[in-house]
């Protein structure tokens, strides 16, 4: 891949991720709280919000690990660019959500 091709790919993916993150925001938010869904899960499970979020994120990480394991085993018939983009994109979005939850928690502690 040339630097120009990489630049094009990054632009295309980041644009798509921005749109998908906006959709996720609508799914997770309620009452002007971007982390509503994670907070509700935390209340239900008697856990901290960050723990719930990381547990949800781990499912996304497992998807990437499964793809990597399939590659290593030579089992690539079901692996597509679309699948890899979806799963890696979900992980990027969860990483950003993680950042925002940590930022909220730090703000609560005056940091």
pLDDT of 111 over the 90 cut: no
pLDDT in tens, 12-31: 999 999 999 999 888 889 99
The Cα 62–Cα 59 span in angstroms is 5
- For 41-46, what is the mean pLDDT? 95
Which pLDDT score is estimated for 27? 86
Model confidence pTM above 0.75: yes
Neighbour-count burial of 52, counting CB atoms closer than 10 A to its CB (0-12 exposed, 13-18 middle, 19+ buried): buried
Query: Residue 82 corresponds to which tokens in the numbers above?
Result: 């679309």
Q: How confident is the model at residue 39 (pLDDT cuts 50, 70, 90)?
A: very high
User: Tens digit of pLDDT for each residue in 45-76?
Assistant: 999 999 999 999 999 999 999 999 999 999 99
Question: Which pLDDT belongs to residue 44?
Answer: 96
Give the chain's domain count.
1
| Contact status, residue 91 vs residue 57, Cβ threshold 8 Å | yes
Range of the domain at 44: 3-108
Taking the C-alpha atoms of residue 110 and residue 108, their distance in angstroms, rounded to an integer, is: 6
Span 89-106, pLDDT tens digits: 999 999 999 999 999 999
DSSP string for the chain: --HHHHHHHHHHHHHHHHHHHHHHHHHH-BTTBTTHHHHHHHHHHT--HHHHHHHHHHHHHHHHHHHHHHHHTT--TT--HHHHHHHHHHHHHHHHHHHHHHHHHHHHTT-
pLDDT at 15: 95
């Amino acid at each position: 891949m040339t630097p120009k091709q990489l630049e094009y790919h990054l632009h295309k993916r980041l644009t798509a991720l921005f749109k998908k993150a906006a959709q996720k925001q609508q799914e997770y938010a309620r009452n002007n709280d971007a982390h509503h869904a994670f907070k509700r899960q935390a209340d239900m499970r008697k856990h901290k919000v960050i723990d719930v979020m990381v547990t949800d994120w781990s499912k996304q990480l497992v998807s990437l690990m499964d793809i990597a394991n399939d590659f290593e085993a030579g089992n690539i018939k079901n692996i597509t660019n679309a699948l890899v983009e979806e799963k890696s994109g979900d992980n990027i979005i969860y990483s950003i959500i993680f950042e925002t939850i940590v930022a909220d928690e730090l703000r609560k502690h005056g940091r």
